[in-house]
Structure 1
Amino acid sequence: MKIKKIAFIMVILLSAAPLTSCSKNNKNPIEEKQQIEEKQQIKDTANEFDNANNADSYSSTNSGSSTNNGQTNENTQESNSPIQVTKLEGRRKEFIEKLDNIQKEIDSLPEKKDSDAGITIAMKSYYGISYDMYDKALNEIYDLLKENLSPETMQNLQNEQIKWIEDKEALANEEADKYKGGTFELVAYNISLYESTKNRCYELVNNYMTD
């Protein structure tokens, strides 16, 4: 009899177990909907947060890139900017020696002796040759500066040179006019050209070249 009662109780308990399990698994639809909505809100908030972070990161990256590009462009412009050359470096001593050697050659000309003696024909020839030698040197110096100096500096030098040529010719004519019609007229003219051109050579070297 006891065995039957125990068996009966076990049957009742076993039959009640599924009902209890079902009651635990079967949630209230309203509660389930609320939980789903809360999960979706959390998910949406997380997505918005991620999107905001990504946007900030992108903005920061672009800002940095823009700044770097700006710096790069500035550096490029600076590197592409022409260097302003106002003097030719390392050539002054070389050209001073050349000019000094020209004078040594002039002093060794065979016409010098007669020129120093005051012979007009010899003086005319001697100072004519002397002028030509320094004029050739002047053209060499000027062409070298033209190739190496900045355009602005060279423009100033060109204007200066034009003015110098005008003054040189004016001074030579003035000296020649002192002996106008005489045999010494051309001699005075050549002497003036020689001295002006020699001085101009040294001026250009000293003013536009460095050691």
Structure 2
Amino acid sequence: MKKSKKIFSTTLLVVFLVGMSACNKSSIDDSNKNKSEPNNTSKNTDTFNGATTDDNSINNLEEEDNTGTNNNSDNETSTNSISDVNGNEFKSETSTPDKMDKKREEVLDNIQTELTAFPDKIEGSRKEFLERLDNIQRELDSLPDKKFSDTGTTNAMKNYYGISDEKYDIALNRIYDLLKQELTPETMESLKMEQIKWIERKEAEAENERQKYAGKTHEWVAYYISSYELTKERCYELVNRFMTD
């Protein structure tokens, strides 16, 4: 009997040890399983510009990309709209030169009409001369170049003041030629010397104005403005001095 009890006790010990061994193995397996989970999670990560992002961050970036795409679409729409506007403006501008040339030609013809219609005598012509000089200025101010000249556009200013200077120079020559025919030789000789000095002064003043802007965009604009103003002034001066009512 004692031997049987001993065997039974040994059997219980073995069973107990086997059970303990199984429990320890299960705990180790569970531990190892838990340790592997972060590695599985890392498979769901992504790298963007050197930073690690999780699934939520990736979704946020995708939303931002979609937003960016939408913005780009908006920009494209906006650009297309601008292109359409610019295209319309361009079409308008391409037709403008023709209209401007036509208007300019019309104005120059009107000015030529005024110059041709200058009186051919001194006596009783002052009022008509003054009216025709006024008409010339009125026509000059209707030049299409005048509008752009007033905004400071350099080429338009050159055109407007260049044309104005030229037309008043023609007017001055017409007036001077009439005076040569109508004035006494003595008076004309005195006027001739005076006119030479005036021309020298006009050229000097215009050149002085040009030099103030030498090398700049308004260099010749300044020259034409000075020459035009002085020439116009001289026309009115000679008419008021020598033409009679």
Task: Specify the code of the residue in structure 1 equivalent to 2:157.
Answer: M
Partners of 2:125 and 2:201 in 1: how far apart?
Answer: 27
Partners of 2:152 and 2:122 in 1: how far apart?
Answer: 41
Partners of 1:134 and 1:111 in 2: how far apart?
Answer: 17
Deviation at 1:94, TM superposition (A): 1.1
Q: Which runs of 4+ in 1 moved over 3 A?
A: none
Give the structure 1 partner of residue 155 of structure 2: 121
Match of 1:130 among 164, 171, 178: 164
Give 1:33-182 correspondences, 5 Å limit: 88-182=122-216
Partners of 1:98 and 1:135 in 2: how far apart?
Answer: 14
Give the structure 2 partner of residue 188 of structure 1: 222
Match of 2:232 among 190, 194, 198: 198
Deviation at 1:88, TM superposition (A): 2.9
Give the structure 2 partner of residue 48 of structure 1: none
Deviation at 1:173, TM superposition (A): 0.5
Partners of 1:157 and 1:91 in 2: how far apart?
Answer: 19
Partners of 2:194 and 2:126 in 1: how far apart?
Answer: 20
Task: Specify the code of the residue in structure 2 equivalent to 1:178.
Answer: K
So what's the TM-score if we normalise by structure 1?
A: 0.58
Partners of 1:169 and 1:183 in 2: how far apart?
Answer: 20
Structure number with higher relative contact order (C-alpha < 8 Å, ≥ 6 residues apart) = 1
Alignment RMSD (CA, Å): 1.1
Task: Specify the code of the residue in structure 1 equivalent to 2:178.
Answer: L
Deviation at 1:133, TM superposition (A): 0.8
Partners of 1:208 and 1:148 in 2: how far apart?
Answer: 10
Gap runs ≥5 in structure 1: 1-86
State the Cα deviation string for residues 26-80 of structure 1 (Å, max 9, x = none). Answer: xxxxxxxxxxxxxxxxxxxxxxxxxxxxxxxxxxxxxxxxxxxxxxxxxxxxxxx
Partners of 1:105 and 1:190 in 2: how far apart?
Answer: 18
- Percent of counterpart pairs with the same letter? 68
Task: Specify the code of the residue in structure 2 equivalent to 1:190.
Answer: Y
State the Cα deviation string for residues 155-179 of structure 1 (Å, max 9, x = none). Answer: 0110110000000000000111110
Task: Specify the code of the residue in structure 1 equivalent to 2:224.
Answer: N
Q: Number of paired residues?
A: 125
Partners of 2:125 and 2:226 in 1: how far apart?
Answer: 28
Partners of 1:136 and 1:190 in 2: how far apart?
Answer: 15
Gap runs ≥5 in structure 2: 1-120
Partners of 1:135 and 1:145 in 2: how far apart?
Answer: 15
